[in-house]
Amino acid sequence: MIVKPAIKRAEDLKGTKLAISRFGSSSDAGLRVSLQRSGINPDKDVTILQVGGQTERYAALKAGVVDGTVVIPPLSGAAQRAGFNEIFNMTKLGIPYPQEGVVASRQYIAKRRDTLLRFLKGFIEGVRDLKADKEFAIAVLAKHLRMDPKKDREALEDSFQEVVIEQMLKIPNPNLEAVKMGIELLGKERPAKASGDPKDYVDMTLMAELEKSGFVQSVYK
C-alpha cells in the first residue's frame, strides 16, 4: 500500500481516496482485508476507486487524483524511491490469500494425472532455477515486464527479492487457509449451493505424490 508523502500512518488513511483495479479483484480484496486489520472500515472510512492496472493506479497517485494505491514490485520500490510512503506490506501482514494457483477440473485430474505431475515437475524446477540464478531471474523479469535490465536494475532487484526469493514457494502445496479466505471474501457472491469447505476445492494428492517420490528433495539437493 503506497500513499502520498503526507500520509504517515494507517490512521491517516481516514477520508482518503484509494485506487484499486476493479471491485472484486485481488487488489480490492487485499486492500479491504489490510484496512480492516489496521482498524480502518473500507466501506465508511475511505473511498475506494476503480482505476485500472497498477501502472494506471500509480499514475493517478503521482497526479494527485488518489491518495494511495496498491502496487507490487517493481512499482512499489520505484514509488518509495520517488518519495511516496509504504503504509503496509500485505505480504508481511500474515494474511493467507490465494493470490495465484494452478486450476484443473476433477475430470482432467482423473484422466490426465500423469500430465499434471509432469507439469508440476517442470513448475518446481522453474522456481528452483529462478531462485538459484539471480541473473537468469532478472533477465526473465525484464523480458516479461518490458524493462531495461540495466536502467531498471534496482527495480528488478526489488522484484527478485520480494517475489522470487520471499514469495515463491519451493514446495507449492495448496494452502487451505488461503482458500478459506477466498471463499469468505466471496461473501454473497458465492452460489448458495457451493461448499464452504476449502478441502472441496483442493487436490493435495498430486504434490504429496511428488514429495513422497523424493522428486522435490532431489530438485533442491
* Omega before 74 within 30 of 0, i.e. cis: yes
Q: What is the pLDDT of residue 30?
A: 85
Give the confidence band of 129 by pLDDT, cuts at 50, 70, 90.
very high
Give 1's contacts (C-beta < 8 A, 6+ positions apart): 31, 34, 68, 69, 70, 86, 87, 88, 89, 90
Q: Give Cα separations from 129 to 23, 55, 145 (angstroms).
A: 35, 28, 19
pLDDT in tens, 172-212: 999 999 899 888 877 777 888 899 999 999 999 999 999 99
pLDDT in tens, 4-61: 999 999 999 999 999 999 998 888 988 998 899 889 999 999 999 999 988 899 999 9
pLDDT in tens, 45-55: 999 999 998 88
CATH superfamily of this structure's domain 2-92:
Periplasmic binding protein-like II (3.40.190.10)
- Residue type present at position 204: M
Number of Cβ within 10 Å of residue 76's Cβ equals: 22
For cell 518519495, name the residue: 83
Q: Which three cell numbers stand for residue 176?
A: 487451505
- Is 26 in contact with 54 (CB distance < 8 Å)? no
Distance from C-alpha of 110 to C-alpha of 103, rounded to nearest angstrom: 13
Q: Which three cell numbers stand for residue 109?
A: 485430474
DSSP letters, 130-150, are HHH-HHHHHHHHHHHHT--TT
- Residue type present at position 69: T
Domain locations in the chain as residue ranges: 2-92, 106-219
Find the Cα–Cα–Cα–Cα dihedral 192, 198, 202, 205, rounded to 10°: -140
